[in-house]
Amino acid sequence: MHIELDELMGLRFGQLEVISAYRDEKKRIKCKVKCECGKEKECFYTNLKNGRTKSCGHLERENRKTYIDLAGQTYGELRVIQKTEERKEGCVVWECQCSCGETVYASRRQLARGYVTQCHNHKEKQLIGSVFESLTVQDYSDERKAFLCQCSCGKEIWASKKNLLSGHTKSCGHLRHEDSLTRIEGVAVSTLRRKKPRNNTSGIVGVSKNKKQKWVSYITFKGKRYTLGEFEDKRIAIAERKKAESKYFEPYLRMEKELKI
């Protein structure tokens, strides 16, 4: 619809009054307006008509001071922590914490309408601590799109979500090796003399320091990992590991020796 520029003179849109108008090089109508606060500015007529521009900008600044406090509320997996000074689409942006521990930033509109309900990698983070055959998930890397897993033998590997869930990756590779070994009552005896991994920090197979800075003693036998305890003293953790080796490993090592004789 064709609009005569003279018809726009004196029209009010919100707190703005049109004092002049012209068409730019693209034939779009631009208006010079005066705000109730006395300031003048230029803006597109379409923004005035659609209500996107209602003042010289002071209304937006005033609205920033008034907001609904969302702190403490929960939206899906997100708990709102505090507001930030950022704005998105005219709404306050809130700092939130996902149930998996990640920090997420979302606007009031995104939270209220359910557009953002969890962190980007929430489903992946939920798998941390899960066990897939001989692998225990330790962490997730968004950059690698893979999980850091610790094998029951102590080695660490990266594995994709698809390979873990499908059962394609079950260990660091030692299970394939064990399948080809001679067994006594189902036990691959040669694996009982496994060397300590390169990432071992204790100097003893089956003894490592956890995140609580305690020494953990464990032993893997017949595909199952047994945790022997957490200890402040490294020597006690080593003693527990040696005791378990005597209980689980020694009988099979003796049988192997007797068979060779």
> Could you tell me the CATH number of the domain that includes residue 253?
3.30.730
Question: So what's the pLDDT on residue 22?
Answer: 92
Question: Does 97 lie in the same domain as 40?
Answer: no
116 domain-assigned:
yes
99 and 49 housed in the same domain: no
Q: Do residues 78 and 32 both lie within one domain?
A: no
Give the three-class secondary structure for 239.
Answer: helix
Q: Are residues 189 and 251 in the same domain?
A: yes
* Residues 91 and 27 reside in one and the same domain: no
Query: Do 158 and 189 reside in the same domain of the chain?
Result: no
244, 193: one domain: yes
Q: How many residues does the chain have?
A: 261
Q: Is residue 67 part of a domain?
A: no
Which pLDDT value is given to residue 109?
87
Number of domains in the chain: 4
Specify the pLDDT at position 86.
85
CA-angle at 11, arms to 5 and 17, nearest 5°: 105
Supply the pLDDT for residue 120: 85
69 located within any domain: no
- Residue 157 shares a structural domain with residue 218: no
Q: 251 and 197, same structural domain? A: yes
pLDDT of residue 144: 87
Q: Is residue 68 in some structural domain?
A: no
Report residue 145: phi and psi, to 5°. Answer: 60, 45
Q: Is the dihedral of CA 246, 249, 255, 260 positive or negative?
A: negative
Are residues 243 and 228 part of one domain? yes
Q: Is residue 215 part of a domain?
A: yes
Chain-centroid distance of CA 33 in Å reads: 48
Distance CA 228, CA 243 (A): 10
- Which residue, among 44, 25, 23, has the nearest Cα to 33 in the 3D structure? 44
Query: Is residue 105 assigned to a domain?
Result: yes
Give the CA angle between residues 221, 201, 234 to the nearest 5°.
80
pLDDT confidence of residue 261:
41
Nearest to 139 by CA among 101, 171, 176, 103: 101
Q: b/e for 227-241, b at 16 or more Cβ within 10 A?
A: ebeebeebeebbebb
Burial class (CB in 10 A: 0-12, 13-18, 19+), 142: exposed
DSSP-assigned beta bridge partners for residue 118: none
- Percentage helix, strand, coil for the chain under 3-state DSSP, each rounded to 5: 25, 35, 40
The tens-digit pLDDT sequence of the chain (261 residues) is 678 888 889 999 988 999 999 999 988 999 999 998 889 999 999 989 888 888 887 766 655 556 778 899 999 999 999 988 888 877 889 999 998 888 999 988 899 889 999 988 888 888 888 899 889 999 888 888 899 999 888 888 999 999 898 888 888 877 665 555 567 776 767 677 777 777 777 888 888 888 888 999 988 887 788 889 999 999 999 999 899 888 888 888 888 777 664
Dist CA 35 CA 37 (whole Å): 5
Same domain, 247 and 208: yes
d(CA 43, CA 47): 7
89, 117: one domain: yes
Range of the domain at 234: 184-260
Exposed e or buried b for every residue in 55-78, given b needs 16+ CB within 10 A?
Answer: bbeebeeeeeeeeeebeeeebebb
Inside any domain, residue 255: yes
Look at residue 164 and give its three-state secondary structure: helix
Domain annotation covers residue 179: no
Tell me the whole-structure pTM to 2 decimals.
0.41
